[in-house]
Amino acid sequence: MYFAPTNACMKIDISKSLNVIQTKSKQSLIIVGSMMPVSNTSFSNSDFQTTNSRRYTVLVVEDEAALAEAIELYLRNEGYKTERASDGERALELFQFAQPDLVILDIGLPKLDGIEVLKRIRIKSTIPVIMLTARSEEVDELLGLGLGADDYVTKPASPRKLMARVKAVLKRSVAPVSESERIRIGAVDIDVYGMKASFDNQEIPLTPSEFRMLHHLALTPGRAIERLELLEVAMPDSDALERAVDIHMTNLRRKLKEAGADDIIETVRGMGYRLKTPY
């Protein structure tokens, strides 16, 4: 086994000879195995398998070096640019400097934990965030805080699974359902192509998950929609439970109220939610 230097002009295939082992300290995954040069050509834009034509930047915030390196290796092999931080303070510095398209954020960090980092990110940005948790109970704790991460992955989780989540979250956050689709119900305007919503021409700062839920409700105003259906729309294949829908809906309602669109989403007891019409 050897590790190629970062400036080596070669393409690396890590898909065929990887072994996954679990560390005893944090129940995280480390990738070990051989990496063989496939050719002596450098990377070209056509080699990158991303969700769009441009390269996305992913900020990896993980204090376990081996796991962070494995995640970065997979991301770069898929064509993403990466930045890495091993503590919460550095994560916020890189978030400001690098302007990433997505953040992979561990909870158990030195200096500032992942929960505090997410709180500070959410003050400034609606950028997609995938939380890494050591225990399934931590997902409940995060949901209870109502911070609105876009996905939750419980360790141990294979980097392949994490890559699938990265692609899914980026696709949900940047890919419109239809380039020409625009929905207007009363004073609420939903621009699907731009992934933006506004009320009385005032833009409402929504996370990708919040936008997906609002858009889905607006497709059939007046229809009661189950929580599970909303979860599948906003966070498919997530480790989060239906309770995540309530947290995102609470944040969505708060933002609508701040924009002047109070009480347009109604709770359907024992089932889910509906968008009121007319209002």
The rounded distance, in Å, linking the Cα atoms of 61 and 105 is 5
Q: Give DSSP secondary structure letters for 52-95.
A: SSSPPEEEEE-S-HHHHHHHHHHHHHTT-EEEEESSHHHHHHHH
Q: What is the mean pLDDT of the chain?
A: 75
Q: What is the pLDDT of residue 171?
A: 80
Averaged pLDDT, 219-245 = 81
pLDDT tens-place string over residues 96-126: 999 999 999 998 899 999 989 998 998 888 8
Which of the four pLDDT bands, split at 50, 70 and 90, describes residue 90?
very high
Which of the four pLDDT bands, split at 50, 70 and 90, describes residue 77?
very high
The rounded distance, in Å, linking the Cα atoms of 270 and 275 is 16
Q: Between 19 and 144, whose confidence is greater?
A: 144
Q: What is the pLDDT of residue 150?
A: 81
CATH of domain 182-275: 1.10.10.10
- Whether the CB-CB separation of 98 and 115 falls below 8 Å is answered with no
Torsion of CA 45, 70, 114, 91, to 10 degrees: -50
Ordered by start, the domain boundaries in the chain are 12-174, 182-275
- Whether the CB-CB separation of 58 and 75 falls below 8 Å is answered with yes
pLDDT tens-place string over residues 180-197: 578 888 888 998 878 889
- Examine the pLDDT at 278 and tell me if it is beyond 80: no
12-174: which CATH number, 2.60.40.10, 3.40.1190.10, 1.10.3720.10, 3.40.50.2300? 3.40.50.2300
Q: Between 7 and 263, whose confidence is greater?
A: 263
The rounded distance, in Å, linking the Cα atoms of 29 and 67 is 6
The rounded distance, in Å, linking the Cα atoms of 152 and 165 is 9
